[in-house]
Structure 1
Amino acid sequence: MGCYLLTFNSGIVQAPFVTSSSLLSKTWDAISSRDEDVVPHGGRGLFWKVREESDLTIVVFEVRNDFDPQQKLVSSSYLKENNNFHRFEFLCTKKIPEFSVNESAVSLVIDNLEKLDELKSKINSSHPLIVTGHGVGGAIASLFTVLLLDSIGSGKKRPLCITFGSPLVGDKRLQQAISRSSTWSSCFLHVVSCKDSLLKKLNPHPSAYMPFGTFIFCSDTGSSCFENPESVLELLVSSINDQSQGFEVPDYGKLVQNLNRKAICRDFNLQGMNLTHSTSLNASIGLQLCAALDMQKQQHQNIDITALATKLEELENKFMSQKKEKFDPSKKLNIMKIDMANFELYKKLCKSQGIGYYDCFKKEASTDDQDVIPSQKRLRNYWSDMVEEAEMKPQTEAAAFRTRWLFAGTNYRRMVEPLYIAEYYAKGLCKDYEAKGRSRHYAVLEKWLEEDKKQKADSNGNTRKNVESILTFDSCFWAKLEEALLLCGQLENLKENKEVEGKLLEFEKYVYESLKRYEVSPEIFLKGSSYMSWWNKYKGSAGNHRLASFMNNPQHFDQYTEGTYFFP
């Protein structure tokens, strides 16, 4: 049964399976058991025991009774710089460069890190793994599971962390870092009683924290399951502020038995709720709240159930909307392929008219130039979102993500960015596109390609091939060309200008080396191209006789296209 548990990618799907199976009971039995044959391992303020079964391994964490948790949050950057603790770095992204965790809890992990590493090596087996703990032990179980995620690949079984009455361990940025991967988020299942006095003691300022994973709120008579962190936080804050509940130590063993019999209770009258204008979602949430808060036994003096249900309905609608809108590159890729095919047709059409598609679009002389704009915008939005999605992923996933989309992203950049360059310079007053006008996602796509080349140690060298249909490798070639055209105007006006001459010579060398590597589309040699316009203005001042020798014979253009020209 345990092997099926670890295949779920959604916590909200996994939770009913766990509660209806024997897994939850086995986990709590491992916590409450005092079996003599299970030897506890001691550390500094921390204990753990390992229960091995035929098809399951359960690791239980406990914390000394005299442990006094502080509520201070400490950043991952601070831990790295002052405690030499780098284990959470794999969660960081460019969008989330750091996050914060409970200082007392993470200090226990750091103080016992060597022994916890030994534990990690011992439990890396083929058995499904559950990591668990009650109270503060649950907080340690969560942090230990986070450490395990660093080594979890697509082919490995994932651990499941099940906590009981555990305080929250990190801020919103930690929640966002873990939630970027549905695989990681589904590894955490938290069982909570709203009567639990431990939550009231350990989280006096819960707004500084943010939950992650799936939460099962339960009472003696029913339960309610949420994975939306905003909804979970709202329920936690409401229960903490509900003084009518008093301070209790819930019997999680009894609650687990109830959960095993009935995951969602349907036999409640919605006391205190006005359902006259209630939606089905609102009524469903109200029903679950009555189950989770045990409304049959007492009224909650400080909780307006109707208002709470309405608030949770808003949060759940927002959460579901965000999930629907979540960027999915795979679903949209076929649409993007159609847009790229439109560009290929546009490129061929322009060439048949004796002008490259860059210059054709820049002049906007026909309806065809306008017709390609919708595809241009869709592709830009798609790849801009794709880059942002990759940067939000944890580092290990981001690397695999961008490698998968590298080829398509490179083709897009080389095909579409020149049109944005054409628009930029068509305004007439613009300069320095690369520094001032370039969208960041183009630079990121280019950087990925360079990193991939370095990793593969792959160099094109002087490979000669037919390049009739290629796209110019450097998508900023056209921006450099436009800058060179502007410089030619300055050179004519100033007669002698060493700085301008130096920049033009630099561009001339750049063109020659790009041609030598067969990385430039032969469209630049078409009669109406901006490149030919530049060359006709500049050739009298050319300082590189090798480029001049190539350009002065039009037959060389055909030889270049066929890959038969030998560059000295």
Structure 2
Amino acid sequence: MAKRKSSSSLMGTVLDDEKRRALIPLCCSLSMAAHCSPSSPFLRHDNAGPSAAVFAFPASWSADDWLLADGARSPFGESQIDASLFPSIKSVGNDAAAAVNGAFLRSFKKVIDASRLQAEVHKAASEKKQIVFTGHSSGGSVAVLATIWFLEQRLKLDKRVDQVDPLCVTFGSPLVADGVTVHALQRENWGHCFLHFVMAADIIPRCFLAPLSSFKEEFQSILHFLSPKPLSFNPKPAASSSVAFYNNVLKNALSMSNHQACLLMGCTNPLLEVLADFVKLTPYRPFGTYAFHNSESGDARLICLKNSNSILYMLFYMFQKAPEEDLEQVAHRSLEEHLLYEKRIKECLDVQNIVFVDSSEAIPLSSSDGYRDKAQPIKRLLKDLDLSLEGRLYLRAAGEWENQRLKNQAKVDSNYIKIQEGLSFLKDYRSTCEVRGLGYYDTFKIQKDVEDFNANVKRLELAGLWDEIVEMLRRYELPDDFEGRKEWVKLGTQYRRLVEPLDIANYYRHSKNEDTGPYMVKGRPKRYRYTQRWLEHVEGLPAGSSNESCFWALVEELCIDTNDNKPFLEVKSRVLELEEMLLHWVTGGNLGRDVFVSDSTFVKWWMTLPLKHRSESCISKFMKSEEDMLEERSDQ
């Protein structure tokens, strides 16, 4: 697998570098030019300094390319991401698939399947050019998916060492993916590859905060107005349509913002969950770096954020109209702003007046707060925006939530050595089992000596530590990159291989299978499922292939089935599969050879199998002959 590079600041490497900054207006111009060639799936431009291949995707001005037909099933148009194209975009531990806008995914697949994009991108990458994907409006959403696709391709090819990270630059792009996607991009250290420019009053980047079905009727007339024809030929949408569209998006943006703020501030009111069942909220979330252009402030200022929740709030708060403004004019301006990116971007890059708003400590709750000097640009900015106390609180909450996740990680990291010490104790216990002449699994299952009792106490202590980690991961209360940290993947694998056999022994020793069912179906704790998925994801292994720690559960179930006098033919396929896996695990060093101790549960069961099968088995070389075992037992 490819090594992942350390995170870097996209704004620092693009906006602060004169040559790379030149890519941004180029991307904007090329994105607009792509609209004039809708028959071409993309436009390409090769830039000399820096060496880059820029691929621009045109937007679609047909509502059918924005909205899925089945709005009743998914009112926001989301569909499960294609795992064959985007295998990394998922929650690993929670085993949750990501969701993206189904119509945009369909558009991207058409481009990737029916054009020369793949060949040109790979050729440019082989020439050491930086790959840049860009687009305006829905073309930006296709560019986002193309960027993720290319990042996945680089993982497969394992050619990242000398290759510059790709760049995705969008202008007025609507949201395209859900929170699981945000989590996955951060885990893979890909979030810094995305830069999105958004006008403060542009409605299109906010449109999917509202259910698609709620504005489908007026949306086509709005797209006709936005299409790249001379403005005199573009019919202005009816005032009622643009006002209804604006109000609908604003209302849903308010609901989404308030709901998310309640979650981040730790609201425990049960009505929150009840309301969420009745009021459908958008699944889409922003990711990457957002550069908001606030033309209302009187200067060409860029407001930059990387925190997904902060961006969500700014999408709402920068979009509100002032009480004295005329609603019809505001609604029409929200459409016109979508057409002005090429002019506005050049202005703000020339001035280069950039303010970052991600530090929660730097966000004052009032203009009179006595913050240090470096907070003054943010104070002036928030004053220009006339951001309410509520808005400031929400931005602070978003920052504090990230700080809390870092504190949770520090707490988990503080237990790292304690877990190592617990595993060292159990390794010593495993050595005593070998001295006593019985395997690790069977010795613990019998629970005969004080050493077995002490091992059980240590097993329970470690379970408590890991269950706490898993619960934090389930609620996304740890930083997104936690599951990709190599030291924790390694520790989790060691823990699973050493301790899960003890959990299985305890499960069948107390006959829990009789009440609950087989361990693999009902009894396996999440702490083992999570850590197994971590390893399989990092190593690029097929799902479920690294289940060597479950060997004894498979043996126990086969013992139960054969003791019930099931014919061998009924279990033969399972036996053959187990033997093949056992050979692979033992030769690979992932399973100890103590499974072949003559009095182990496995050997006793295996010796009951038909002689013909045993003689032809792939593991027969590891087993003593039946006569040797009978002689050994008679001597004892």
Q: TM-score with structure 2 length normalisation?
A: 0.58
Contact 2:135/2:141 (<8 A) preserved: yes
Mapped partners of 1:344, 1:313: distance in 2: 47
In structure 2, the residue corresponding to 1:191 is in which secondary structure?
Answer: strand
Q: Secondary structure at the match of 2:631?
A: coil
1:164 aligns with 2:171: yes
* CA 1:450–1:90: 2 relative to 1, 3 Å: closer
| Counterpart mapping for 1:5-84 below 5 A | 9-10=7-8, 13-23=9-19, 25-31=21-27, 42-44=37-39, 48-57=43-52, 59=54, 61=56, 63=58, 70=66, 74-75=77-78
* 2:147 partner amino acid: T
Change (3 A) 1:383 1:279: farther
Q: 2:200 aligns with which of 180, 194, 204?
A: 194
CA distance in 1, matches of 2:505, 2:597: 14
1:346 alignment partner AA = Y
Q: Give the superposition deviation at 1:312.
A: 1.5
- The alignment status of 1:378 with 2:462, answered yes or no, reads yes
The one-letter code sitting in structure 1 at the alignment partner of 2:17 is S
The corresponding residue for 1:470 is none
**Range with bigger deviation, 338-347 or 362-371:** 362-371
Point out the more displaced range, 444-453 or 343-352: 444-453
SS in structure 2 of the partner of residue 240 of structure 1: coil
Quote the Cα distance in structure 1 between the aligned partners of 2:208 and 2:557.
63
Structure 1 pair 315–364 and aligned structure 2 pair: CA distance change class (3 A): farther
2:393 matched to which residue of 1?
310
Task: Tell me, yes or no, if structure 1 residue 288 matches structure 2 residue 378.
Answer: yes
Evaluate the alpha carbon distance shift between residue 364 and residue 272 of structure 1 in structure 2; reply closer, same or farther with a 3 A threshold: same
Tell me whether 1:369 sits opposite 2:453 in the alignment. yes
Q: For 2:13 and 2:6, how far apart are their aligned partners in 1?
A: 10
Q: Which runs of 5+ in 1 are unaligned?
A: 1-5, 457-472, 489-496, 559-568
Matching of residues 262-341 of structure 1 within 5 Å: 262-263=354-355, 274=366, 288=378, 290-291=380-381, 295-296=383-384, 300=386, 304=388, 306-323=389-406, 325=408, 336-341=419-424
* AA partner of residue 100 (structure 2): S
Aligned to 1:128: 130
For 1:462, the equivalent position in structure 2 comes to none
Matched, 1:240 2:316: no
Name the residue aligned to 2:101. 101
**Aligned AA (1:552):** L
- 2:221 counterpart residue number: none
**Structure 1 CA distance for aligned equivalents of residues 153 and 443 of structure 2:** 52
Is the 8 Å Cα contact of residues 439 and 595 (structure 2) preserved in structure 1?
A: no
Query: What is aligned with 1:152?
Result: 154
Corresponding residue of 2:230: none
> Percent identity of the aligned residues?
20
Q: Provide the rounded CA distance (Å) in 2 between the counterparts of 1:241 and 1:346.
A: 65
Residues 350, 360 of structure 1: 8 Å contact kept: yes
Contact kept, 8 Å, 1:360 with 1:369, in 2: the verdict is: no
Q: In the alignment, what sits opposite 2:594?
A: 521
Cα distance, 1:317 vs. partner?
A: 1.4
Asked if residue 420 in structure 1 is aligned to residue 503 in structure 2, the reply is yes
Q: Using the TM superposition, give the Cα deviation of residue 313 of structure 1 relative to its aligned residue in structure 2, in angstroms.
A: 1.2
Report the residue type matching 1:317 in the other structure: E
Contact 2:175/2:206 (8 A) holds in 1: no
Change (3 A) 1:484 1:230: same
State how many pairs are aligned.
490
Q: Which amino acid aligns with 1:21?
A: D
How many angstroms apart in 1 are the aligned matches of 2:463 and 2:534?
18
> Displacement of 1:477 after TM fit?
3.5
How far off is 1:544 after superposition?
5.8
SS at match of 2:318: helix
Distance 2:200 2:457 in 1: 55
Q: 1:343 to 1:211 in 2, by over 3 A?
A: same
| Deviation at residue 123 of structure 1 after TM alignment | 2.9
Change in Cα spacing, 1:15 to 1:430, as seen in structure 2 (3 Å) is same
Over alpha carbons, which structure has the higher Rg?
A: 1
Per the alignment, residue 227 of structure 1 pairs with 306
Deviations 1:168-207 (A, max 9, x none): 233334434433311x211101233323455466863565
Q: Shift of residue 240 of structure 1? A: 2.5
Q: Distance in 2 between matches of 1:436 and 1:217?
A: 49
Q: How many angstroms does 1:264 deviate by?
A: 5.0
Cα deviation 1:203-250 (Å, max 9, x = unaligned): 635652211111123432644432221221111022223356842446
Give the match's secondary structure for 1:20. Answer: coil
Note the C-alpha offset of 1:330.
Answer: 10
- The one-letter code sitting in structure 2 at the alignment partner of 1:194 is A
Aligned to 2:187: 180
SS in 2 for 1:195: coil
Distance in 1 (alpha carbons) for counterparts of 2:363 and 2:573:
80
Tell me: CA distance 1:40–1:411, structure 2 relative to 1, closer, same or farther (3 Å): closer
Q: Distance in 2 between matches of 1:271 and 1:433?
A: 51
Q: Which amino acid aligns with 1:241?
A: Q
Q: Is the 8 A contact 2:58 2:136 kept in 1?
A: no
Which residues in structure 2 correspond to 1:396-411 (within 5 Å)? none
Matches of 1:348 and 1:200 in 2, distance apart?
Answer: 61
Q: Tell me if the contact between 2:169 and 2:194 (Cα under 8 Å) persists in the aligned partners.
A: yes
* Deviation of the 1:310 alpha carbon: 0.9
Matched residue, 1:553: 631
Unaligned regions of 5+ residues in structure 2, if any?
Answer: 69-75, 210-248, 257-281, 543-547, 615-624
Give the 3-state SS of the residue equivalent to 1:120 in structure 2: helix
Q: 1:258 aligns with which of 351, 359, 365?
A: 351
**Aligned equivalents of 1:366, 1:499: Cα separation in 2:** 38
How many angstroms does 1:287 deviate by?
Answer: 5.8
Asked if structure 1 preserves the Cα contact closer than 8 Å seen for 2:467 and 2:527, the reply is: yes
CA distance in 2, matches of 1:318, 1:451: 27
d(CA) in 1 for partners of 2:549, 2:172: 57
CA contact (8 A) 2:363 2:392 kept: no
Tell me what 2:426 maps to: 343
1:353-375 Cα distance to aligned partner (Å, 9 max, x none): 66655455442642663366335
**C-alpha displacement at 1:158, in angstroms?**
1.5
